[in-house]
A and B are shown apart, each in its own frame.
Chain A
Amino acid sequence: MSVRFATERRDVVDYSIVLLVERDGLRVTVRLYDGAHGKNELHRYTEQGGKQPAEVFCRDTLGVGMRMAIDEIERGYEAMIESWLSR
């Protein structure tokens, strides 16, 4: 999991949480959560189709969404990778 984020005072103003797998020495994205557009968005990736359209996964603040994204990846990364492999 790759995490980066930006803060201003108590607010998270941007973040990017990426679940990656390593294949043949290359890092490939499986899932991306980000706050780039001021919303908590999720992009699924598939092995064949690449990046899928954004879905809003949380309507709370970016700080809440970011923590939720980390928790989701920590709890469900195996299923996410399986899903990525099967599509």
Chain B
Amino acid sequence: MSHAASSPVGGRLMTPAYKVLLALAAIGAGFLVWRFLFGLGSMTALSDSYPWGIWIAFDVVTGTAIACGGYAVALLVYAFNRWHYHPLVRSAILTSALGYTIAGLSVVIDLGRYWTLYGLAGIWNWNLNSILLEVAICITAYVFVSWIELSPAFLERGRTARSPRLRSFSERWLPRMQRALPFIIALGLLLPTMHQSSLGSLMLLAGPKVHALWSTPFLPLFFLITCVAMGLGGVVLESTISSRAFGRPNEHSLLVRIGRVVAGLFALFMVMRLADLAFRGRLDMLLAFDRFTFWFTLEMLLAAAGIVVLLQPSLTRGRLFRAAMLVLLAGALYRFSVFLIAYQPAPGAVYFPSLGEIMVTVGLVAAEIAVYILIVRRFPILAALPPHPETKVGREEAHLAHAAH
């Protein structure tokens, strides 16, 4: 990882917007006190029919997909050697680390009997048939791996710390981390491949309770494709917002190329979904014109609209941003549907999140953004300089420009 490539944003932390974030986080925390004092039923809309609500379907299932940027960009850079995307790696991994930490917290909040959680450390108790076990272990492991992947950023900062001990610690460990990084990154590629696909497998066990437009043996594959596509879409979103918010150099040309990859993946996903329906002989369900047809069609339209825009020959920042939003919404709707909208436990059963559930999720996201801002202001995360003409990206850009003329 070339250290000169990233630098702290600096600047004042306690802006009015930042205080709003902290206030939202505090409100969420207040609802959490309530949840732990009086039980899940006291503040959620959860029931025996809908035991999983937005804390799972949004915070974990959708949130970790949007937070898969660190996985998806590292996949492009380290596995497929697309090194020109390297300037995006660090901020993407920060998003992953934060998103997955939030997901882990959500799970603990959602667990009814969290005090027995230590039992999960007893490997001899593990039920190796349990898909949820695999998801739980892999997500926990990835939370740690993603922070370790990010540790060079903290160590680089540590080299200029005031404390001499912290300085010497950082000097000693930074080169070690650099050497170990490829092997840690490989773990950071393996774990999401496993748990993101297994997130899809989870709902295979719900069997006929998931509507047949969504329930298919290909759930694990679909979840894997959407997590890469949504992770990259999340990178476009995050980079655009942070470059505007912090007045950072714009990685626009890189983001446009990422957008093309996102469009390709979503197109593949849509084709596979329709092919799967055709193969299972269920295409007629699209003509049922019930609410399931509606949600399925909406998902397809959102994705198609995003793809069309992303493939335009030239894209302004605004259009790229909006197109990324569209495909992210499509992916989010797909994942959300598998866990909630298409989940039909019993006739007449309904679920709509309570105010408390929504405020806890809002609070967690607000806290996530607040920590993101804190870290990028203080640590070298965001790409520092516009692409230098001597770097590979610069050369390729110049080459492309030359070819165009």
Same complex origin of A and B: no
